[in-house]
Amino acid sequence: KDAEKHMLRVASVSKVYGGVKALQEVSLEVASGEILGLIGPNGSGKSTLLACISGTQSASSGSIRMDGAELAGLPAFAVAQSGIARNFQSIRLFANLSVLENVLVAVLANDRTATQASARHKAMTLLDRLAIAELAHRRSGDLAYGQQRRVEIARALALDPRFLLLDEPAAGMNEAETGDLLNILGQTMRETSIGLIIVDHDMPLIMRLCHRLVVLNRGSVLAVGAPQEIQNDETVREAYFGR
């Protein structure tokens, strides 16, 4: 059991939607403090895998364990409570609430014993970490897209997660916003012991941020390795980079 401490371990997870085999016997693991990149062509099962881990979809078979405890089959709220937070591919903020209020909702949901002052302090600390403290009192729906995505990550971090799952956090961002996000995520991961699984199409971002990559293709793991190894892997280049 000690070997499973500080690990999120996915073992032989399959997911069938109707007749579609979205995931076939996928296994991977991520350790606390590790940044794992999950890449692969469109439709290869990346979002489905994150959904199965977070319990928003139930795996058809296989096991998902954190610190050796089984999570597969738990409802999404229970998985979140156990310490796995995620963003969504589309933004899910309360558009009419301020940035601070959006994060406060998450802080208070996570810790019902928090006082107004302590919750506010924590929310502001998170906004600071995401470099959006100056936006605290703006209406969330009025923010630029890249800023909204950062609020979303602040909300996920408000849950004090052990593991964080990010599905295309840089989607729709311009190069400058993507660079800022990369620096913020890198810094956050250095300052906490959160384990991160990140899906993104932005290869420079993935290559710079991640310690290790898992490549999915048609629902199966095609390759696992360091970013450099993956970049030079012939089968990956064929399946993914198309050359």
Closer residue to ligand ADP (CB): 183 or 241: 241
Closer residue to ligand ADP (CB): 40 or 83: 40
- 79-94 per-residue burial string, b: 16 or more CB within 10 A, e: under 16: bbebbbbbbbeebebe
- Residue 140 to residues 97, 144, 183, 238: CA-CA distances in angstroms? 6, 9, 22, 42
Could you tell me the smallest distance in angstroms from the CB atom of residue 22 to Mg ion? 11
Q: Does 86 bind ligand ADP (CB under 6 A)?
A: no
Could you tell me the smallest distance in angstroms from the CB atom of residue 242 to ligand ADP? 16
Asked if residues 227 and 209 have their Cβ atoms less than 8 Å apart, the reply is no
Q: Does 22 bind ligand ADP (CB under 6 A)?
A: yes
Closer residue to Mg ion (CB): 49 or 236: 49
Q: Does 169 bind ligand ADP (CB under 6 A)?
A: no
| Residue 45 DSSP SS3 | coil
**Among 5, 20, 186, 208, contact with ligand ADP (rule: CB under 6 A):** 20
**Among 40, 55, 146, 161, contact with ligand ADP (rule: CB under 6 A):** 40
Structure tokens at 94: 């309360």
Q: Does 17 bind ligand ADP (CB under 6 A)?
A: yes
* Dihedral of the alpha carbons of 28, 31, 37, 42, in degrees to the nearest 10: 40
Closer residue to ligand ADP (CB): 136 or 164: 164
Give the residue carrying structure tokens 């980079």. 241
Q: Does 46 bind ligand ADP (CB under 6 A)?
A: yes
Cα end-to-end span (Å), the chain: 43
Asked if residues 164 and 173 have their Cβ atoms less than 8 Å apart, the reply is no
Q: Does 37 bind ligand ADP (CB under 6 A)?
A: no
**Among 16, 27, 29, 43, contact with ligand ADP (rule: CB under 6 A):** 43
Query: What does 54 bind: ligand ADP, Mg ion, none (CB cut-off 5 to 8 Å by kind)?
Result: none
- Gyration radius of the chain over CA positions: 18
Residues that bind ligand ADP (CB under 6 A): 17, 20, 22, 40, 42-48
